[in-house]
């Protein structure tokens, strides 16, 4: 069973007129919740990775748009919609890769397109944001169940970054099967890559799984190949930030490396992601915008200079794994595999 003292940490909590946010930049040293009281607070929290993880970014942005709507002082419905569009566009500028951000914002805009009054629009947009969070909880549970069916007692599974409870509304995506396995007394051993440069694996994944009593071992990213060989890793499972219509998948930088290693060692490489992480509007992974972040994330660790200040830095936050390296994409509707273009078309046809 899950450690009886374990409470799956929630990263985003709506509090009537503000958002209570777990500051993921301070974990594991400090567990602090911030009060986001306006759209600017929300934008900054997403951009600075105080909240990160594709689904959690979408949920937070949705509550940010709801905050802007509730605080709007427009005198006409037309002015309200104009201000809402500006707020939508502002929040959409916080980070470019995770499609959940845009999916959530667009869903809220659509929810109020037929509102007859400003009050109706305000009430509707908040309800839709709350619904997105509730749906994500159910989606992660389903993804966990489908993913767990791929593993057996004693398996040793590698992951990268953090696609856990704090990156979603609950359970997470790639980490969901580990929580469910623990609840069912199925022993899975997790090998978590530290995930340079922001260290989501070292700081967040180990922190979450240890609290749940899940067996987790931390490795540095460059230990992956040797670990797969010497620890006889049986599978790799990762999250996603955007999946193209052909199954090419963007995820944290270093994910593509693991997919190549999985092929080389002939072990399955799985992606776990909700339908809200798919972007059927783009044909392949080359069209996924890859965020490049502040060079200081690479040249400093916790504010300590580890490289020359003026060194040239390339700091892409994501990479794209081509669909042919992916054994299966696990969604709330089950796992798709092989003919991804056709399978994804079916997923979004009904």
Ligand X SMILES: CSC[C@H]1O[C@H](OP(=O)(O)O)[C@H](O)[C@@H]1O
Residue number, 200 or 323, with CB nearest to ligand X: 200
Ligand-binding site membership of 52 (annotated): yes
- DSSP string spanning 71-119? H---SSHHHHHHHHHHHHHHHHTS-SS-HHHHHHHHHHHHHTTT-SSHH
Residue number, 112 or 243, with CB nearest to ligand X: 243
Binding residues vs ligand X (CB under 6 A): 52-55, 161, 163, 167-168, 172-173, 200, 238-241, 251-252, 317
Residue number, 53 or 129, with CB nearest to ligand X: 53
Ligand-binding site membership of 54 (annotated): yes
| Number of residue whose CB is nearest ligand X | 239
Give me the least distance between CB of 160 and ligand X, in Å please. 7
Ligand-binding site membership of 315 (annotated): no
- DSSP string spanning 248-309? -EEEETTHHHHHHHHHHHT--EEEE--GGGEETTSSSGGGSPPPB--THHHHEETTEE-S-T
Q: Give the whole-angstrom CA distance, residue 325 versus residue 1.
A: 34
Name the E strands within 129-188: 156-160
Ligand-binding site membership of 75 (annotated): no
Catalytically active residues, by annotation? 241
Give me the least distance between CB of 73 and ligand X, in Å please. 33
Give me the least distance between CB of 137 and ligand X, in Å please. 13
Residue number, 251 or 323, with CB nearest to ligand X: 251
Give me the least distance between CB of 49 and ligand X, in Å please. 6
Report the number of secondary-structure helices (H) and strands (E) in the chain: 12, 16
Instruction: Judge if the upstream peptide bond of residue 28 is cis by omega within 30 degrees of 0.
Output: yes
Ligand-binding site membership of 95 (annotated): yes
- Write out the binding residues: 52-54, 95, 200, 251-252
- Write out the binding residues for substrate: 52-54, 95, 200, 251-252
């Amino acid at each position: 069973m899950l450690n009886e003292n374990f409470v799956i940490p929630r990263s985003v909590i709506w509090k009537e007129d503000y958002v209570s946010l777990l500051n993921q930049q301070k974990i594991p040293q400090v567990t602090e919740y911030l009060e986001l009281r306006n759209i600017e607070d929300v934008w900054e929290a997403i951009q600075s990775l105080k909240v990160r993880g594709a689904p959690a970014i979408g949920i937070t942005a949705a509550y940010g748009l709801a905050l802007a709507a509730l605080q709007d002082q427009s005198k006409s419905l037309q002015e309200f919609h104009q201000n809402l569009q500006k707020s939508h566009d502002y929040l959409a500028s916080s980070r470019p890769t995770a499609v959940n951000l845009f999916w959530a914002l667009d869903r809220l805009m659509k929810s109020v397109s037929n509102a007859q009054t400003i009050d109706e629009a305000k009430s509707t947009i908040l309800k839709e944001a709350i619904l997105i969070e509730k749906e994500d909880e159910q989606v992660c549970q389903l993804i966990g169940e489908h993913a767990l069916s791929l593993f057996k007692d004693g398996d040793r599974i590698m992951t990268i970054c953090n696609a856990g409870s704090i990156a979603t509304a609950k359970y997470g995506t790639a980490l969901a099967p580990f929580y469910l396995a623990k609840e069912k007394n199925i022993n899975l051993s997790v090998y978590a890559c530290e995930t340079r440069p922001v260290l989501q694996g070292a700081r967040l994944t180990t922190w979450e799984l240890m609290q749940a009593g899940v067996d987790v071992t931390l490795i540095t990213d460059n230990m992956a190949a040797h670990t797969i060989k010497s620890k006889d890793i049986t599978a790799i499972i990762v999250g996603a930030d955007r999946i193209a219509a052909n199954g090419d998948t963007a995820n944290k930088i270093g994910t593509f490396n693991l997919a190549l290693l999985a092929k080389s060692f002939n072990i399955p490489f799985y992606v776990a992601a909700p339908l809200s992480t798919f972007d059927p509007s783009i044909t392949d992974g080359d069209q996924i915008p890859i965020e490049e972040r502040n060079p200081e994330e690479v040249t400093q660790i916790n504010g300590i200079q580890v490289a020359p200040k003026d060194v040239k830095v390339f700091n892409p936050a994501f990479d794209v794994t081509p669909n042919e390296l992916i054994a299966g994409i696990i969604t709330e509707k089950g796992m798709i595999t092989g003919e991804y273009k056709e399978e994804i078309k079916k997923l979004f046809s009904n």
